[in-house]
Amino acid sequence: MGGDHGFQVVVLSGPSGSGKTTIVERLIQDAPVKLIKSVSATTRAPRKGEVEGEAYYFLSAEEFAARQERGEFLETAEVFGAGYWYGTLKSELERAKTQGGWSFLEIDVQGALRIMEQYPEAITIFLEPPSLEVCEQRLRARGTETEEVIQRRLRKVTEELQQADRYRYRVVNDELDQALAEIRGILKERKAGS
Ligand code: 5GP
């Protein structure tokens, strides 16, 4: 009936250093279904090269709170316990529907759990790093964070790994092409079933 037929929400989570960013970029370029990446709102400052409206909608704490108050978010989370907020705007799902694709959310575990409550059919994928050591190496190689931030993120990695079994699918990012193939396979299967 409605234009929602076949619409799906895809959620991908993975700890910092799980190699998520590369996977997401490659997936958006080439997937068995049209994926529209949800642009999250955040109160953290833009990193070098991050473009407003592409990487995130960068909001002041006041603006974020005001939108939260108005019920504009599907979920929000204070991701690293450092006072920075992140959230998925309801309008992002609408945008995906309008563009005729599936909404693709790259969000943390807390956010993913909230999405599962609201969209039990969501395709939830947890990207696991091959090991904690690899995570740490990848985080350091990025060279954008202070030692304190790296330590905080590593603690979060350990916490998040414990939640991996809440996701419908788990993919180990040992080898990039292999992990991508697995995720594409999941999407293909779900597309056939929808
Ligand atoms: P960044 O490195 O960009 O500061 O932070 C990324 C972290 O925030 C990742 O763990 C990512 O999954 C999470 N994140 C990004 N956007 C959202 C969002 O809208 N909601 C939630 N819950 N987490 C988000």
The model's pLDDT over 83-111, given as tens digits with 9 standing for 90+, comes to 899 999 999 999 999 999 999 999 999 99
**pLDDT of 29-64, one tens digit each?**
999 999 999 999 999 999 999 999 999 999 999 999
Nearest to 80 by CA among 143, 165, 24, 153: 153
**Closest approach atom of ligand 1 to CA 110:** 22
Q: Where are the beta strands (DSSP E) in 59-136?
A: 73-78, 85-89, 102-106, 123-128
pLDDT score, position 156: 86
Ligand 1 lined by 79 (C-beta under 6 Å): yes
CATH number of 9-193: 3.40.50.300
Ligand 1 lined by 88 (C-beta under 6 Å): yes
Q: What pTM was estimated for this model as a whole?
A: 0.91
Sheet with 57-58, strands from edge to edge, namely 57-58, 41-42, 85-89, 73-78
pLDDT score, position 113: 96
Quick count: other Cβ atoms within 10 Å of Cβ 104?
Answer: 24
Using the predicted structure, report yes or no on whether residue 182 has a pLDDT greater than 60: yes
Q: End-to-end alpha-carbon separation of the chain, Å? A: 14
For 120, the 3-state DSSP assignment is coil
d(CA 22, CA 185): 18
Q: Which of 4-18, 21-35, 103-117 has the lowest mean pLDDT?
A: 4-18
Ligand 1 binding pocket mutation candidate from 13, 107, 161 (most atoms within 8 A of CB): 107
